[in-house]
Every structure is written in C-alpha cells, then in structure tokens.
Chains A and B, each alone.
Chain A
Amino acid sequence: MGLPLQIRAFREGRIVTWNLERLHRESEGLHATFMEVCGTHTMAIFRHGLRRVMPENLRLVSGPGCPVCVTPNGTIDRAIALCRIPGVVIATFGDMVRVPGSSSSLELEQTRGARVRVVYSPLDAVKMAEAQPGAQVVFLGVGFETTAPTVAAAILEARKRGLRNFSVLVAHKTMPQAMRALVASGDVALDGFLCPGHVSTIIGSEPYRFLAEEFGKACVIAGFEPLDIVEAIWMLVKQVKQGRPRVEIQYRRAVRPEGNPKALETLHRVFEPCDAEWRGLGWIPGSGLRLREEFREFDAEHRFPLEVEPPRQQAGCRCGDVLKGTVEPEACPLFAKVCTPETPVGPCMVSSEGTCAAVFRYGRSE
C-alpha cells in the first residue's frame, strides 16, 4: 500500500478485532454516549463501519467538526457577493464551492462567469495573486486550528511579498469553545469526547482540560485509523468507569501535550479571538478568529465593504441539529430523497467530512 509499516499495522484486522473484544469486555454494563467532534473522525467511523461493531450500550454521536458545515449561510453569502465584484477571484478549498448559500452557491456563480478557483494550500492563493496583479484574490479562510496557522503563514507571506491584491474572508473557528457551548447547552447528554486529532497536533491537550474538570467529561485525543478510534473509545470507557475524567492522548505519535508551538505562534501573531457564529450552535463567545488590527489590510470584509442579503436557511434542512448531535441525518425529511451528494441541500451533504455525506455513502448511522 505504500504506507509506512507502523501505519499499516494500525489497520491490521486482528489487532483491531482484539481491541474491539477488549472494548466489549470493558464496557459491559456501562451505558455511555461519546461524541466525536472532528469531521475526519466522522468519516473514518462510517467508512470502517465502527458504529455497527460498537457494544450496544455505547452510543457514538457526531458533532460540529466539519469546518465547511459549521460555516453559517451569512459567510457563504458574503463569499458569493464578493465573487460578483468585477476583478475578484475567489480562491478556496474545494468543498466550499458547492455549499449552497441563501440563494446561490459559488459553483452556480461560476457558471455565470464568476472566477472561483480551488486551491490546495492558502499559499497557492498568494502565488495566484502575485501572478495576476490585475486581479483581487480573496481566499476563503474556513477551518479550525489546524488550518488557521497555514492561513496566517499565507498572510505573512503576502505581506513579505508586498501584495496589495490578496485578502482573506476570515471565518476560522476554534474547537474547545464550541465544545463548551455544546455541553453547557445540555442539548445532548454526553459522557465524553473523542477529541480532534489534527486540531490537537496544533493546540495540544491543555485547552480541553476544563471539559474534564468543570463538566466531568472524559476526553481522549484520538488518531484516525480504526485501531486508534477503538482504542480511544476503550480509554473513554475506562475513564467513565473509574469516575476520573481527564484528558488523555491516544494519538501519541502525532500529538504532544504542548501542541505545535511554532504553528501557534504564527496563528496568534496574525489572529486574535472573537465571537463567532456557527451553523446550528449560533453565536459562541470567543470561538472565532479575526485578523489583528495591524493585518486589517488583508481583511476582505474591510477591503470590500458590501451589503449582503439577509441569510435564509434551506427549508427543511436539519444540518443545524445534525451538527449538535441531536438528530441523525435519516431524521431529516430531505435525506437521500431531495438531498444527495449530487444535489446537496445543506453543507452536511456537500462536504467530504459532513455527517449526512458519511451516512449517505457508507450506510445507516445506527
């Protein structure tokens, strides 16, 4: 498979089976609900059919971990309004292109002549701006703590190159504050969290500590292979049984307790915390990032002051509840009927990390 030996072993059937058996033994008699708050975990859990092999008394629910999905219509509408300005080129990660806003999508605008380009890295958008001095390149800054440092680095690079035609529509969000809002709302009764693996490579384990100490939730930072996820759930079960909630790292090969200090430094140099709106969860204090004053010139909202249409929700779409973990995709009347990956109504069906897309592709959620 071309994967390093150690990683292949994380998929090795017998090891996973042995782990599953251990999990079944350990969780006997325990009823618990755990949430994964990372879209890549959601996808891995469905792809490998892990919900179906869980002990009956353990419930896994998916949370607000897909960055495209939690981006509210207001942000998408603003991106659409920006792409209609003559001379503007929108550069974005692929998933954003097909997400429906209140009355259009970037894809639809593209067919009407707007310039929308998919990039792999925010640095590609910087290069694009340098290569097209006549255009105004706007990058859509969507994503959690894993992505925010890469966008911060791109902004620093644009400043270094003296570019006046590069800006970012900043819609970055930070995970721990959303997890606080989720548990504080009490909408879904949780015993613990499968904490996001790659967000944690950047932020480390400390930012989750309040979940254990203030709210008594078990927390395990997990990797993305079947073995990682099964082992992490076993660790969660043990914490709940011992009545000793804390933050543990299962994904030790990539997550250090202190995270990645260099990436964090870059992130904090360019961004500062702000309140942010999440689809489904509403406004959450301190859960977003905005550019610091000295980088205001790279703020697309500042550079292009615009009237944006008032956001409207897609009728019938239950993405908001899916993101909170209060309903499964099948409970949405549009699921697989009107709303499919070919004709998505909501972002949870568009994104490769969305729960609706995962269930559509790999089968039922229970």
Chain B
Amino acid sequence: MCLGVPMKVLAIEGEWAVVEVGGVRKEANVQFIEDLRVGEYVIVHAGFAIQKVDPAQAEETIGLYGAYGLPTED
C-alpha cells in the first residue's frame, strides 16, 4: 500500500499535481503539502502526496559516504 518512491512534481493546479516517476505519470492530491513547487519530489500514498522529500537531507546522507571516498553515483 505504501510505495516509498518519491515522485517528481511536473505541474500543480489547485489541490492537484501531475507527478512522475520512471516515465509513469499520475495525478496526486496535494492538499496536505505546504508550499509545493514544480520540480520538487513528494511521496505519494493512496493518491495523496503525504510528504515532501527534502533533497538536501538525502544528499547529506549520501554525502557522508562521499567523505569515505565511496562513489555516490553510478
């Protein structure tokens, strides 16, 4: 039920947004998300965006490993 993959926001109109992951586009209700912008990532559950994904936090986690000389991208 809970797909964890973040989806990219392509367009927003009122309570609704077009979101995309891996070439698949869907509509998501975004009434629970404050200050959403096109280009940001959200986690979608049961047709609703339930939280914004903070890219800075994701990069921080990955960045820690960069410090050990480990590759952080393919």
A162 close to chain B: CB less than 8 A: no
Q: Give, as a whole number of angstroms, the nearest-CB distance from A310 to chain B.
A: 29
Chain B positions 9-51 with a Cβ under 8 Å from a chain A Cβ = 21-23, 29, 31-34, 41, 43, 45-48, 50-51
CB of B47 within 8 A of CB of A124, answer yes
Residues of A within 8 A of B45 (CB): 146-147, 150, 198
Residue on A with the closest CB to B42? Answer: A254
Chain B contributes a number of interface residues (CB within 8 A of A) equal to 39
Q: Which of A95, A121, A253 touches B55 (beta carbons < 8 Å)? A: A253
A121/B65 contact (C-beta < 8 A), A6-B59, A9-B73, A15-B72 known = no
Q: Give, as a whole number of angstroms, the nearest-CB distance from A206 to chain B.
A: 16
Q: Which of A149, A150, A197 touches B4 (beta carbons < 8 Å)? A: A197
Residue on A with the closest CB to B7? Answer: A4
**Bound Cα distance from A197 to B2, whole angstroms:** 10
A355 close to chain B: CB less than 8 A: no
**Bound Cα distance from A93 to B47, whole angstroms:** 12
CB of A149 within 8 A of CB of B1, answer no
CB of B61 within 8 A of CB of A253, answer yes
Residue on A with the closest CB to B60? Answer: A252
CB of A5 within 8 A of CB of B47, answer no
Chain B: residues with CB nearer than 8 A to chain A? 1-2, 4-6, 8, 21-23, 29, 31-34, 41, 43, 45-48, 50-55, 57-62, 65, 68, 70-74
Chain A: residues with CB nearer than 8 A to chain B? 1-10, 12, 14-15, 18, 38-40, 67-68, 93, 95, 120-124, 143, 146-147, 149-150, 153, 197-198, 201-202, 223-225, 227, 231, 252-256, 260, 262-263, 266, 352-353
